[in-house]
């Protein structure tokens, strides 16, 4: 469901709890169990830009509790889960940056980093026995995540990978999935 993370983490939309998201998050484990998929693959944006509905002093702790709870529910339903790690956040609108730096696209590159919530996602996945696939090596070169790879814009905005670039990742993702299934 677009904009709803696969986690027990209620979000605020327009200042009120997004009840559609909460219903989806609550119903999903049993719905998946009834459909009996061979695997459930989770790929979340871990650094949620919407505000969480639960008062918190630590977003990472709130994310951690919500993701742990959700994986626990999937595990209780006997589902096999694979978690794909988050992609790097460029921190800027990459196409806008590239339009200003036509002759030097490397000016729009970003440093390879992981958000604390992304790091804890991997720890939680492994704790629950879910294989973790990390896409950072497919996107970044060493410590740099280029804005353009192989002549293709990596991002379509300030956080989403472009469709064209995502297509270049199909062989790597296919291979990674074969290794964990």
Q: How far is CA 33 from the centre of its chain?
A: 22
- Which tops the pLDDT comparison, 91 or 175? 175
The alpha helices in the chain, defined as continuous H runs, are 19-35, 59-76, 94-100, 116-127, 136-139, 163-168, 170-180
- The pLDDT of residue 40 is 97
String of b and e for 91-116 (b: at least 16 CB within 10 Å)?
Answer: eeebeebbeeeeeebeebbbeeebbe
End-to-end CA distance of the chain: 24
Radius of gyration of the chain (CA): 17
What is the pTM (predicted TM-score) of this model?
Answer: 0.92
Given a cut of 80, is residue 55 above it in pLDDT? no
pLDDT in tens, 64-118: 999 999 999 999 999 999 999 999 888 899 999 999 999 999 999 999 988 888 9
């Amino acid at each position: 469901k677009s904009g709803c993370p696969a986690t027990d983490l209620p979000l605020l939309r327009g200042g009120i709890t997004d009840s559609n998201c909460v219903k989806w998050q609550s119903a999903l484990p049993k719905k998946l169990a009834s459909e009996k998929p061979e695997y459930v693959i989770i790929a979340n944006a871990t650094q949620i830009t919407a505000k969480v509905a639960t008062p918190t002093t630590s977003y990472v702790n709130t994310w951690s509790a919500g993701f742990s709870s959700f994986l626990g529910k999937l595990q209780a339903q006997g589902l096999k889960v694979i978690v794909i790690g988050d992609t790097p956040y460029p921190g800027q609108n990459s196409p806008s940056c590239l339009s200003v730096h036509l002759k030097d696209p490397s000016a729009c590159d970003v440093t390879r980093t992981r958000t604390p919530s992304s790091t804890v996602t991997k720890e939680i996945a492994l704790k629950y026995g879910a294989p973790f696939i990390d896409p950072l090596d497919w996107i970044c070169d060493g410590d740099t995540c280029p804005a353009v790879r192989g002549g293709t814009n990596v991002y379509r905005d300030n956080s989403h990978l472009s469709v064209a670039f995502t297509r270049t990742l199909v062989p790597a993702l296919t291979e990674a999935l074969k290794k964990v299934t």
